[in-house]
Structure 1
Amino acid sequence: MGRVSTVVIRSAADVNALVNSGAARGSNARVIVFLALGGIFLDAYDFSSLAYGMRDITQQFGLSPVWAGIVNASIMVGAVVGALFGGVLVDRIGRYQVFMADMLFFVVAAVGCALAPNEFVLVFFRFLMGIGVGMDLPVAMAFLAEFSRLTGRGSKASRTAAWAPAWFTATSACYLVILGLYQVVPHEHLWRFTVGFGAVPAIAILLVRKKYMNESPSWAAQQGDLEGAARILRESYGVDAVAEPGPPEPKKASGSFRPLFSSRYRLRTTLALAVALAQTFAYNAVAYGLPVIIASFLAQGPLTTITASLVLNLGFAVTGGLLGIRWARRGAWRMTVLGFAVQLASLVALAVIGKPTGSLAPAALLSLGAFLFAQAWGPGAHYMTFASLSYPTSLRGVGVGFNQGVLRIGSTLSLFLFPVLASALGTGVFWVIAAAPAVGLLALLLIRWEPVGYDVDAEDALTASST
């Protein structure tokens, strides 16, 4: 791509305006977006890799339902810690350094889980894996928002929504890996090889980071480093940017959760949390419990369970996620409302069907598929839109980190409770899960905030004065 004429930047607002307008579009910037999505790919793979193996892990280590819940939930406990501290670090020390650190967590944790001799070691490394996952989402969403234009193709809304197909592609890839390993690996060790394989893409990302990865120009400018922002624009965008600092700008608050509850952001924070908690409770119970649902409730064998999980994720979730990128311009609020409505109907159908026999089995699978399809283009895609695009650059890390930290508490609860409730209630558990999208719908109807297409970065100066 040829270089554009020289652009003079005198403030952080100039950098934001340049990126938001779409005038700065370089090949390296697209690679950075791809690498950020690669981090999300790892998050999903690591979550999914043990979901299928939970039955084997339970048998191998002789776990009770409570201990199975602890193993399931340990990654979420780590993610709470990683999200809260990672969000603060993303705003204080920058996006680049945090991204590099969490890649190392993925490598060490994947190998540690694969070699775990007992449930105690497994819980420890699952916890470390969770820290990596928790740190990754605030930094990945910051990169996606801050290396994208405000509207049009490749917009902030489209790229933040792109996290959903990346997530579901990783889930599908995980089941493809399982399907391949199923043919050559002893079945009792299948989960170990699957989890360990997660270190491979993490190492690949680490190897290419030096050539392409860069700091966010918006964050650098917001820190007062206009020279650094100009350099990033030259290196990553091919924009001939020159820094000519204007009058000193007021120092923006960095790494504090307090502004999230100021009068300007209070309702946005509340809605983002409500949508996040509602979607995560339902999704974790259904998606991470998918192998259990298919194998136990639908009474299918191991190979059918793997194949059905793959088809549901690849056919419904990935397709829905790709459509979600295209539909993102229609607005996060509208698409999330529609998504929750479809999920509510799907869960009610599963509860009514119960343990299916004969012709009802395809209906149950279609209901699961509809749930995943709606998740991918609705609440699953846009809960991150609400969390990322409701705050300007100075608050984006802590905004996403706080959202993820609280969300992971809900995720921990759902992952711990699902094995226990499924054991006690059977298919009646779907009635409990159905409450989640109902709550999400209520929150959206009460707070009608639309972040798509809104220039939230223009609020940074106002944020400084209010804090």
Structure 2
Amino acid sequence: MSNKIYEIKHAEDITQLISKYAGKGKSNKVIWLALIGVFIDAYDLTTLSFGIEQVISEFSLTPIMTGVVASSIVCGTIVGNLVGGFLTDKIGRYRVFMADMILFVIAALVAGFAPNVWVLIAARFVMGISVGVDLPVAMSYLSEFSKFSGKSNKAARLAAWCPMWYAASSLCFALVLMLYFVLPAEYSHWLWRASLIFGAVPALLIIFIRGKYLTESPIWLANQGRLKEATDILKTSYDINAVLSPQALSNTPKTEHKTAKIGFNILFKQEYLARTIVAITIHISVAFQYTTIAFFLPSILTRFFHTTTLTTITTTLALNLLFAFTGGLLGIYLASRFASRHILVLGFVLQAIALVALAWVGHPSNPILLYLAIGLLGLWLFAEGFGPGAQMMVYPTMAYPAEIRGIGVGFNRAVTGVAQAIALFVLPVWMTKYQTDVFNIIAIFAFIPIVVIGFIIRFEPTKYDVDLELKSNIDINKLLLKDLS
């Protein structure tokens, strides 16, 4: 623990200390627990990406029912995003996080053992609720347990959600690949079931170790007027030697009633409107593109490139690891050193090029064009990893202050859910009707954010710490009571 002693008088003091000194002690463990939550989100959303063909066969699904099964988890995320975002700001990060981990376990087990398609749909919907609830609270943890600038800053840690997402996707396909060789042929239809059940494992891990590392966010506690609890967490989780001023309770306004009145409409008030427009643009654009390329990647390889089952699994795994995951790792590096807006625009430009080129290639008629098409898919995934994929959570999380962060992230993720649900219904139809020309349609969703972010609204979320934006600029040296060094 630091030899310096800081006196806490106001909620802003807590925020300022964390903004400058976070990243020590148990706070890093909280970051990893939040990222494991993101891992579960990605894993659960990926499980039926390959397994949907087996589900269709096992339950004899019509195209309409296939769309219902595929979109049920996404529809659940819409509900979960809105409810989770509200509850994250209302009752705190810790309780919401633990509740959705328990929900994860139950939903994964029920889905894995579903006796019919209706139980599967219901379980996947509940699983979607848990995914939706988790992301607002996970992003709040990543932001509020990180310092604003320097190595491992807020932007870099928020961007880390992307490689974690693709690590989960890759693990999902690696597990499917392993089961492909391990399971006897007569049990091959259990591939999708086993992969769903495995999703409960990391959630159980968090539940078992929560007491040792996981705490409430001190920034949220401070904004609720609970300065003593927030100060205690600074000492136990951040190794910041802080003491509560005797005048703190009388000087700190109670904000519970203010928080209770906050709703989603605040995101559209003048001070936040431009940020909300940018965030919505990013989330809709990413949703349609990601659903096309990442979610339907096995279908693209099978339908358009005519790959075998084994080739589809191995190629999907390779593309996720070599391009999406490595792009996500690059995104962490870039997020800590460059403006988010510039990274986003570059990523969208590369994606637009990849999509237009894929439409030009069409159905590969020879091995050279086939490898070119796979390389273009890799380019799109790489650009997604370092650009829109990483930055889409940086924007809403760092654009809104702690008291509305859950609402902001939840609302934007709900927008993503609506866009994904629409995409899951229309894309199979578009792929059948337009074939590879569908890539030109999806390229529109790469061009629109280039125009909006690059030329119309140039908001930069990493320019300053939004948690201190509307508050007095506290000098940390004024908080310093004593330096024992």
Q: Where on the TM-score scale, by shorter chain, does this alignment land: which range?
A: over 0.9
2-structure distance, mates of 1:429, 1:117: 35
How far apart are 1:7 and its partner, in Å? 1.6
Work out whether residues 100 and 206 of structure 1, in 8 Å CA contact, stay in contact via their aligned partners in 2: yes
1-structure distance, mates of 2:376, 2:294: 13
How far apart are 1:8 and its partner, in Å? 1.1
* 1:331-350 to 2 correspondences below 5 Å: 331-350=339-358
How far apart are 1:243 and its partner, in Å? 1.4
Matched residue type, 1:11: H
Deviation per residue, 1:366-406 (Å, 9 max, x gap):
01000010001111111111110001111101010111111
Work out whether residues 90 and 259 of structure 2, in 8 Å CA contact, stay in contact via their aligned partners in 1: no
Matched residue type, 1:449: F
Partner residue of 2:369? 360
Partner residue of 1:200? 201
Partner residue of 1:177? 175
How far apart are 1:250 and its partner, in Å? 6.1
Work out whether residues 225 and 254 of structure 2, in 8 Å CA contact, stay in contact via their aligned partners in 1: no
Matched residue type, 1:282: Q
How far apart are 1:258 and its partner, in Å? 2.3
1:278 aligns with 2:310: no
Partner residue of 1:54? 52
Matched residue type, 1:419: P
Partner SS for 2:79: helix
2-structure distance, mates of 1:17, 1:200: 37
How far apart are 1:326 and its partner, in Å? 0.3
Partner residue of 2:385? 376
Work out whether residues 43 and 169 of structure 2, in 8 Å CA contact, stay in contact via their aligned partners in 1: yes
Structure 1 vs Structure 2 CA RMSD: 1.3
Unaligned runs of 5+ in 1: 463-467
Partner residue of 1:447? 457
Unaligned runs of 5+ in 2: 473-485
1:237 aligns with 2:238: yes
Partner SS for 1:264: helix
1-structure distance, mates of 2:412, 2:48: 24
- Which of 128, 132, 148 lines up with 1:134 in the alignment? 132
* 1:95-106 to 2 correspondences below 5 Å: 95-106=93-104
Partner SS for 1:27: coil
2-structure distance, mates of 1:407, 1:327: 24
Matched residue type, 1:196: I
How many pairs are equivalent?
460
Partner SS for 2:216: coil
Partner SS for 1:25: coil
Work out whether residues 82 and 133 of structure 1, in 8 Å CA contact, stay in contact via their aligned partners in 2: yes
Deviation per residue, 1:445-466 (Å, 9 max, x gap):
211000014110113559xxxx
Partner residue of 1:72? 70
How far apart are 1:305 and its partner, in Å? 0.6
Partner residue of 1:390? 399
1-structure distance, mates of 2:108, 2:97: 17
Deviation per residue, 1:146-182 (Å, 9 max, x gap):
0001111111110111110110111111111111111
Partner SS for 1:339: helix
1:248 aligns with 2:257: no
Partner SS for 1:7: strand
Matched residue type, 2:97: F
Segment of structure 1 superposing worse, 380-389 or 431-440: 431-440
1:17 aligns with 2:21: no
1:269 aligns with 2:268: no
2-structure distance, mates of 1:371, 1:436: 13
How far apart are 1:420 and its partner, in Å? 2.3
Segment of structure 1 superposing worse, 323-332 or 432-441: 432-441
Matched residue type, 1:430: F
Partner residue of 1:465? none
2-structure distance, mates of 1:118, 1:443: 45
Partner SS for 2:243: strand
Deviation per residue, 1:406-437 (Å, 9 max, x gap):
12101111122222222222222212211111
